[in-house]
Amino acid sequence: MAKEFDVCVIGSGPGGYVAAIRASQLGFNTAIIEKRHLGGVCLNIGCIPTKALLRSAEVYESIEDAADYGITVNDYEADFEGIIGRSRNVANKMSKGVQFLMKANKIEVFEGKGVFESKEQIKVVNEDDETQEQITADHFIIATGARARELPNIKIDGEMVIDYEKAMQLEEQPEKMVVIGAGAIGVEFAYFYNTIGTEVTLVELEDSLVPVEDKDIGKELGKIYKKKGIDVRTGSTVEQVEENGDGVKVTIKTGDEEEVVEADVVLSAVGVTGNVEGIGLDEIGVEYSKGTITIDKENYRTSVENIYAIGDVAGGPWLAHKASHEGIFCVEKLAGEDPLPINYNNIPGCTYCEPQIASVGYTEEQAKEEGYDIKVGKFPFSASGKATGLGHEEGFVKVVFDEKYGEWLGCHMIGSHVTELIAEAVVARDLETTGHEIISAVHPHPTMSEAVMEAVAEAYGEGVHLGN
Ligand SMILES: Cc1cc2nc3c(=O)[nH]c(=O)nc-3n(C[C@H](O)[C@H](O)[C@H](O)COP(=O)(O)OP(=O)(O)OC[C@H]3O[C@@H](n4cnc5c(N)ncnc54)[C@H](O)[C@@H]3O)c2cc1C
Evaluate: CB of 50 within 6 angstroms of ligand 1: yes
pTM of model > 0.85: yes
- Residue 316 contacts residue 149 (beta carbons within 8 Å): no
Query: What is the rounded distance in angstroms from the CA atom of residue 192 to the CA atom of residue 304?
Result: 43
Which of 12, 32, 47, 95 to mutate for ligand 1's pocket (most ligand atoms within 8 Å of CB)? 47
Q: Which residue's CA lies nearest to atom 52 of ligand 1?
A: 46
Task: Please state the atom number of ligand 1 nearest to the C-alpha of residue 279.
Answer: 41
Domain with CATH 3.30.390.30 in the chain: 355-459
The pLDDT tens digits for 25-65 are 999 999 999 999 999 999 999 999 999 999 999 999 999 99
- Statement: residue 66 has pLDDT above 80: yes
Q: pLDDT band at 141, cuts 50/70/90? A: very high
DSSP3 helix / strand / coil % (the chain, rounded to 5): 35, 30, 40
CATH architecture of 3-148+273-334: 3-Layer(bba) Sandwich (3.50)
Residue 323 Cβ inside 6 Å of ligand 1? The answer reads yes
Task: Check whether the bond before 49 is cis (ω within 30° of 0).
Answer: no
**Mean pLDDT of the 238-261 span:** 97
Pairing of strands 108-111, 30-34: parallel
Residue 78 has what pLDDT?
A: 97
State the distance from the centre of ligand 1 to the C-alpha of 448, rounded, in angstroms: 31
Taking only the tens place, the pLDDT of each residue in 83-101 is 999 999 999 999 999 999 9
Which residue ranges does the chain devote to CATH 3.50.50.60? Answer: 3-148+273-334, 161-270
Q: How far is the CA of 301 from the centre of ligand 1 (A)?
A: 20
Q: What is the pLDDT of residue 112?
A: 98
pLDDT reading at 468 higher than 80: no
What is the structure's pLDDT at 1? 87
The dotted CATH code for 161-270 is 3.50.50.60
What are the pLDDT digits (tens) for 299-353?
Answer: 999 999 999 999 999 999 999 999 999 999 999 999 999 999 999 999 999 999 9
Segment 177-206 shows an average pLDDT of 98
Q: Is 206 exposed, middle or buried (0-12, 13-18, 19+ CB in 10 A)?
A: middle
Q: Is 91 in the pocket of ligand 1 (CB under 6 A)?
A: no
Residue 146: CB within 6 Å of ligand 1? yes
Residue pair 52/25 in contact (Cβ under 8 Å)? The answer is no
CA 45 to centroid of ligand 1, rounded, Å? 8
Question: What's the CATH number for 355-459?
Answer: 3.30.390.30
188 is in an annotated binding site: yes
Catalytic residue at 436? no
> Would you say 181 is a known binding-site residue?
yes
Distance (Å, rounded) from C-alpha 14 to C-alpha 320? Answer: 6
Of 235, 226, 184, 241, give the one whose Cα is nearest residue 208: 235
